[in-house]
Amino acid sequence: MSDTNTHAHFLPLSVDDDDSIINGSNLKALILAGLTWLKTNQQTVNSLNVFPVPDGDTGTNMVLTMQAAYDEIADSSENNIGKLAHAVAQGALMGARGNSGVILSQLWRGFARGLDNLESMDAPTLVKALEEAKITAYKGVVKPVEGTILTVAKDISTSATKTLGKTRSLEAILEAIVTEAAQSVERTPELLPILKQAGVVDSGGKGLYFILDGMLRFIRDMDMETPEAGILSISSMNLENTEEMIEPGQDYEIVLDFSPNSNLDMDTFYTDLGKIGTSIQIGEGDGFYRLHIHVPKENRNRPVEYVESIGTIFSEKTENLMAQMEQRRKQSAEQIAFNTVVDGMIGLIAVSPGDGFDRIFASLDVNAVIKGGQTMNPSTEQILQAAESLPTDRIIVLPNNKNIILAAQTAATVSKKKLAVVPTRSIPQGLAATLRMNPSGDLDTVYSEMCEALGEVETGEITQATRSVKVNDVNVKEGEVIALHNGNLVYSSDNPLDACLGLLSKIDLNSHERITFFWGCDMKSDEVDRIAAKVKEKFPAFEIEIHSGGQPHYQLILSIE
């Protein structure tokens, strides 16, 4: 490649010639396009949960990771593609959330390595960068699993290499890898049986496809506003906990349930709504549609006016997002007296999904909590900031969620302090580990004892099914109450009490003696008391405890010790 090739064409003019190359500013435009298309299809990715639980957040995690990557270069005029790519990788690393976000950040890291010291990129360099991306991502996972975003990354790298033997056109190679990404995603259920059992494809791989497809759409000046899937199910829209996704100009959230006067032209519908607001989602229920949209203050009434012009509204909900954010800031500013730690002692950080758990952790040996959990996985940077806030260089982190462990481990690799991550996959495991904390002890010894405690507790979770499915030989109907044991679906019922009893019937209780109920923000205390009393009646030998957890989505979290 010659960086001074005066015959080369730069984006957005053309990338379909054999001598086409792109520079840093071109890559910046492509990254924004990938982010835009991923945002448009965010809820589609979120809905691809293996289990029908209301906490699908892969799309959200990937969007937030890509947003952090783009924010790192948003004000940059850097034309050196190598330097720009490294800035993108750094932004993605610090903003990485969830397993999918961390792996995505590793893909960007490897991609940047393939562009070291280069002013621009031609087709052979793109192929090399994709190969480096694949290698880095695989190395970043202790036990790589096929049928995931890793497989899609591997397949597109292979496709790019094959296509390079036929053409040196960047557009042709990008088209080939987008096609291969789509096909690779469709093949994921054949490689990962749980996906096939649940009737879904891999969500992380689908997110990567949307990023690449967005870049191709930008080059070809195609629509970036209408989601590929078009319509979601009502239950998979997941409209809660969207505060982190609120952008300037999104003053109000409008949710409308309506029946159209005639068949909806979805392309026209999305296009018209795109002129009114953002964060548009369309869900389909039994004979009606649900519209979700964020609008600036001056457009507050326009969604209602528009929908009334094409149908009949029978339910309307309006929320002042700015007021909600301010209220949440005030609540988060309320001081909880966490334990102090001094230099030389071991500091303890826990991820907490609710105010009730904040108070419980504060009553133990926890020195700081990070707000997070289902649908709100903290970023690598947030974990680092929490560690930096403690006046000691020996710190233990409790992720308390399987989808936060990788981000915590990534934070440990880049922190200047010694961070030990106990791989707690649930709040009950986190509490069990906390009870083994010895602030004055040896870090390695305390860490080992905490890890040992994880096997002494069973975790139960009660929530509501977001779709009908059969998984693990359990038939689930959308809207039913379901029970998970250590993260696995084990029971489905029409009420929380029966779900609790069904859950406990699936667990070997002989080596346990206590059941602790942590009730969520959508549960009433008297209902929890009634359920606990029935459980005590069924299992009289067990000690029963009840605490407010304040967690979203999950009516109950059970700790069986």
Instruction: Tell me the percentage of the chain whose pLDDT exceeds 90.
Output: 67
CA angle 483–484–486, rounded 5-degree value: 155
Residue 248 clears pLDDT 80, i.e. is over it: no
Confidence of residue 283 (pLDDT cuts 50, 70, 90): confident
Alpha-carbon gap, residue 462 to 452, rounded angstroms: 26
Which pair of structure tokens corresponds to residue 61? 């995690």
The pLDDT value given to residue 339? 77
The pLDDT value given to residue 372? 87
Which pair of structure tokens corresponds to residue 271? 């296009």
Alpha-carbon gap, residue 471 to 193, rounded angstroms: 11
More confident residue, 7 or 420: 420
The pLDDT value given to residue 14? 52
Mean pLDDT of all residues in 76-81: 95
Q: Which of 40-44, 162-166, 398-402, 490-494 has the lowest mean pLDDT?
A: 40-44
**How many CA atoms are closer than 13 Å to the CA of 214, on its beta-carbon side?**
28
The pLDDT value given to residue 233? 64
Which pair of structure tokens corresponds to residue 436? 């083994």
Residue 337 clears pLDDT 90, i.e. is over it: no
Count other Cβ atoms within 10 Å, centred on residue 204: 28
Q: Which residues, 6 or more positions from 320, have their beta carbon under 8 angstroms from its beta carbon?
A: 251, 252
Mean pLDDT of all residues in 512-535: 93
Residue 358 clears pLDDT 90, i.e. is over it: yes
Which pair of structure tokens corresponds to residue 152? 């899609």
What CATH class is the domain 335-456? alpha beta
Tell me the fold of 233-326. Alpha-Beta Plaits (3.30.70)
What are the φ/ψ torsions at residue 85 (nearest 5 degrees)?
-65, -40
Asked whether the beta carbons of 390 and 350 are under 8 A apart, the reply is: no
The CATH number of domain 24-228, selected from 1.10.1740.10, 1.10.260.40, 1.10.510.10, 1.25.40.340: 1.25.40.340
The domains of the chain are located at: 24-228, 233-326, 335-456, 458-560
pLDDT in tens, 442-489: 999 999 999 999 999 999 999 998 888 888 889 989 889 999 999 999
The pLDDT value given to residue 10? 42
The pLDDT value given to residue 281? 79
Residue 336 clears pLDDT 70, i.e. is over it: no
pTM over the 0.75 mark: yes
The DSSP bridge pattern shows strands 232-233 and 278-284 to be parallel
Alpha-carbon gap, residue 286 to 377, rounded angstroms: 32
Alpha-carbon gap, residue 292 to 237, rounded angstroms: 9
Q: Which of 16-20, 170-174, 391-395 has the lowest mean pLDDT?
A: 16-20
For the chain, percent helix, then strand, then coil, each to nearest 5? 45, 20, 35
Residue 330 clears pLDDT 60, i.e. is over it: no
Of 386, 406, 404, 98, residue with least CA distance to 396? 386
Mean pLDDT of all residues in 196-216: 95
Mean pLDDT of all residues in 30-36: 95
Confidence of residue 270 (pLDDT cuts 50, 70, 90): confident
Confidence of residue 2 (pLDDT cuts 50, 70, 90): very low
Residue 181 clears pLDDT 90, i.e. is over it: yes
Tell me the fold of 458-560. Hypothetical Protein Tm841; Chain: A;domain 3 (3.30.1180)
Per residue, the 3-state secondary structure of 5-72, as one string, reads CCCCCCCCCCCCCCCCCECHHHHHHHHHHHHHHHHHCHHHHHCCCCCCCCCCCHHHHHHHHHHHHHHC
CA angle 380–384–390, rounded 5-degree value: 155
User: What is the residue-averaged pLDDT of the chain?
Assistant: 89
* 3 state DSSP class of 83: helix
The pLDDT value given to residue 287? 76
More confident residue, 413 or 6: 413
The pLDDT value given to residue 54? 72
Alpha-carbon gap, residue 365 to 347, rounded angstroms: 9
Buried b (16+ CB within 10 A) or exposed e, 501-539: bbbbeebeeeebeebbbbbbbebeeeebeebbeebeeeb
The pLDDT value given to residue 3? 38
Count other Cβ atoms within 10 Å, centred on residue 261: 10
Of 31, 60, 541, residue with least CA distance to 279? 60
| Run of H or E residues at 379 | none
Confidence of residue 397 (pLDDT cuts 50, 70, 90): very high
Residue 249 clears pLDDT 70, i.e. is over it: no
CA angle 538–540–541, rounded 5-degree value: 130
Count other Cβ atoms within 10 Å, centred on residue 332: 10
Find the Cα–Cα–Cα–Cα dihedral 346, 351, 355, 359, rounded to 10°: -20
CA angle 220–225–230, rounded 5-degree value: 110
**How many CA atoms are closer than 13 Å to the CA of 18, on its beta-carbon side?**
6
More confident residue, 230 or 303: 303
Instruction: Tell me the percentage of the chain whose pLDDT exceeds 70.
Output: 90
Alpha-carbon gap, residue 393 to 213, rounded angstroms: 44
* Maximal CA-CA distance, the chain: 83
Burial of 276 (0-12, 13-18, 19+ CB in 10 A): middle
Can you spell out the DSSP letters for 141-154? SSS--SSSHHHHHH
The DSSP bridge pattern shows strands 346-352 and 488-493 to be unpaired
The pLDDT value given to residue 25? 93
Mean pLDDT of all residues in 205-218: 97
pLDDT in tens, 111-169: 999 999 899 999 999 999 999 999 999 999 888 999 999 999 999 999 999 999 999 99
